[in-house]
């Protein structure tokens, strides 16, 4: 059975990726050691994951796209902006460095829930953890000392990222190919947001939500 590694995500505008690259550079300049204790994500590859599918039979791809389309129909295009910086699991022992998102976060959560509901019948279990939308800047290497981690966590929390609001109009089914230089992502299909919502409809978004540390 042929399979690929796949996930559903929101792709980001170029100006947002540039702002994320600048955030990475701020952290590197403030802590030269970050160059060797953090494996940075290529800004061009940063995305917001909605549903990780893992090894996916190619025979199911058409059904997944259909499920995505169904989920996306009822959620209007999202107005988002970059939020605060933080770390998983926390700033004292960071393993993942991220930037949160703000804006229509409530609608973003509805989209993610709808995707879980439409894709799970295809044999992909629902995520047990609460959805915490974030954009990964980098991952701290295992060899980083406790002191290096704590210092890095402080720097990340103090890093400010500012962009104008940006609009997301579709979600994408992505293929992930793991290579020695890092993962390469390829868009396989997209689903348009809000195709069944009348133009006069309104929705309320959460203007301040972002992942907690």
Greater pLDDT, 207 or 139: 139
Residue 213 reports pLDDT greater than 50: no
Assign 198 a pLDDT band (cuts: 50, 70, 90).
Answer: low
Residue at 90 is within a domain: no
Residue at 21 is within a domain: yes
Residues 155, 160, 161, 163: what is their CA dihedral angle, to the nearest 10 degrees? Answer: 180
Residues 12, 13, 19, 21: what is their CA dihedral angle, to the nearest 10 degrees? Answer: 60
DSSP calls for 101-164: EEESHHHHHHHHHHHHHHHGGGT-PPPSSPP--EEEEEEE-TT--HHHHHHHHHHHHH------
- The average confidence (pLDDT) of the chain is 91
Greater pLDDT, 198 or 174: 174
Residue 18 structural domain: 3-79+104-141+163-192
Residue at 14 is within a domain: yes
| Strands 166-168, 78-88: pairing kind | antiparallel
Residue at 201 is within a domain: no
- Please name the residues in contact with 111: beta carbons below 8 A apart, sequence gap of 6 or more: 50, 71, 72, 75, 78, 171, 193
Q: Which of 113, 117, 133 is nearest to 209 (CA)?
A: 133
Number of CB atoms found within 10 A of residue 45's CB: 14
Residue at 202 is within a domain: no
- How confident is the model at residue 211, as a pLDDT? 45
Burial 120-139, CB ≥16 within 10 A → b, else e: eeeebeeeeeebebbbbbbb
**Is 140 within 8 Å of 96 (Cβ atoms)?**
yes
For residue 84, give both structure tokens.
């605060």
CATH at residue 183: 3.90.1140.10
- How confident is the model at residue 199, as a pLDDT? 56
pLDDT in tens, 3-32: 999 999 999 999 999 999 999 999 999 988
Structural domains of the chain, count:
1
Residue at 200 is within a domain: no
Residue at 98 is within a domain: no
Residue at 85 is within a domain: no
């Amino acid at each position: 059975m042929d399979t690929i590694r796949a996930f559903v995500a929101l792709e980001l505008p170029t100006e947002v990726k540039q702002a994320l690259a600048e955030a990475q550079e701020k952290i590197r300049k403030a802590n030269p050691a970050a160059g060797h204790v953090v494996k940075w994500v290529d800004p061009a590859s940063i995305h917001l994951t909605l549903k990780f599918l893992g090894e996916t039979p190619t025979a199911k791809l058409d059904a997944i796209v259909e499920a995505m389309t169904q989920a996306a129909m009822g959620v209007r295009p999202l107005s988002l902006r970059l939020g605060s910086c933080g770390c998983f699991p926390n700033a004292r022992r960071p393993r993942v460095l991220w930037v949160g998102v703000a804006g229509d976060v409530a609608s973003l959560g509805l989209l993610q829930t709808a995707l879980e509901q439409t894709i799970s019948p295809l044999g992909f279990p629902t995520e047990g953890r609460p959805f915490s939308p974030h954009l990964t800047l980098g991952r701290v290497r295992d060899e980083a000392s406790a002191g290096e981690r704590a210092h890095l966590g402080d720097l990340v929390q103090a890093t400010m990222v500012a962009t104008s609001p940006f609009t997301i109009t579709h979600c994408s089914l992505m293929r992930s190919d793991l290579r020695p230089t890092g993962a390469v992502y390829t868009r396989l299909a997209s689903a348009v947001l809000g195709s069944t919502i009348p133009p006069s409809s309104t929705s309320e978004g959460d203007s301040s939500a972002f992942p907690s540390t």
